[in-house]
Amino acid sequence: MTTPKSIYSRREFLVSSAAALASPHLVCAAGPATPPEPIIDIHQHTNYGGGRDKARGYIPILPAPRSDADLVSHQRSLGVTKTILLPSGRSVSRPSTLHGQANGLDSSCSGNDDCVAVARQHPGEFEFGANEVSDLDDAPRVIEKYLKLGAVVIGEQKFSVECDAPYMQKLYALAAAYRVPILMHWQTGSYNLGFERFHQMLAKYSNVTFIGHAQTWWANIDRANVDNAKQLYPRGKVTPGGLTDRYLRDYPNMFGDLSAGSGLGAFNRDPEHARAFLERHQDKLMFGSDCIDVTGEPVKCSGARQLAQLRELAPTKAIERKLLFANAKRVFRF
């Protein structure tokens, strides 16, 4: 019997049905597609990743700083719906910048005005922080200028200073006055010194939200690896109960920034511990990318790999949503 041309074969029906489902212009009877889940990235930079000075012992990361257009495209490719841009301080040569090494946040990151400009060009999609070299006499005044313009955080503070120095305490007081967090890059021997004493600042400034980040912060999830400048990227099984674990547990105003290779490595080294850590600190941790690449491809982009890692390791979907969105929304009061 000859099949009329008006009747589809089973194969034709399946192909046409798949095409219809794939079409973005068609709406099924159940209603429109569910919008993507929002993601807040608390840690990115403008003009990030430019060539470093080989004469001072650095290795170039990218041949030129990442453009603003590439930054915007990168964040969108990750599925990020809101990004916080963290400025550098001004370029000066003094001990607190390791005689210039820490200029541009030890890279090529640019300052307050560039972050404000990108945020103004993309309202609702980007926010900006306020920053300055910690021990400059006018640091509080400079930071306050940008807080008045709408900065949502102080930082990234990444300078060679004692964490409890008087000028740092002025910044903590400023954070309290403007009700914004302060984000600190902890790196033994280089930036924000005295991690083992920081509990005194957490207690003294209990009304300030502190956000920990970087090598020493993440190395100290491990009780067996306390504040060791030679072990900034430790590997192997974690012994719970390190300083970071205790700061998050004991101080309601201490939070953690999951970004960068230090955050990624802290969870890769011991996935079993990572799941338990994410569960017990589920209300204290926030996603940040802090990656320099342009495309957002997982093979090159630590931010993309970290998103995948958190989705894999989060004990529940509810905890995943806290890490990627809800905690930051609460802390930054968006």
Question: What span, in angstroms and rounded, lies between the C-alpha atoms of 174 and 140?
Answer: 7
Return the pLDDT at 92: 97
- Check residues 20 and 68 and name the one with the higher pLDDT: 68
- Is pLDDT above 70 for 62? no
pLDDT tens-digit map of 88-127 = 999 999 999 999 989 999 999 999 999 999 999 999 999 9
Show the DSSP H helices in 150-195 as ranges.
166-178
Nearest to 248 by CA among 269, 278, 289, 207: 278
Question: What span, in angstroms and rounded, lies between the C-alpha atoms of 156 and 191?
Answer: 11
pLDDT tens-digit map of 256-280 = 999 999 999 999 999 999 999 999 9
Nearest to 86 by CA among 139, 39, 154: 154
Return the pLDDT at 33: 64
Return the pLDDT at 225: 65
Nearest to 275 by CA among 260, 285, 290: 285
3-state SS assignment for residue 73? helix
Using N-to-C axis directions, what is the helix angle for 139-148 and 166-178, rounded to 10°?
Answer: 10
- Check residues 213 and 36 and name the one with the higher pLDDT: 213
Return the pLDDT at 297: 81
Mind listing the domains of the chain with CATH numbers?
40-332 (3.20.20.140)
Please state whether beta strands 126-128 and 40-44 pair in parallel, antiparallel, or not at all (unpaired).
unpaired
Q: What is the mean pLDDT of residues 194-212?
A: 97
- Check residues 23 and 328 and name the one with the higher pLDDT: 328
| Helix (H) / strand (E) containing 279 | helix 271-280
Say if CB 82 and CB 145 are below 8 A apart. Answer: no
φ, ψ for residue 154, nearest 5 deg: -100, 125
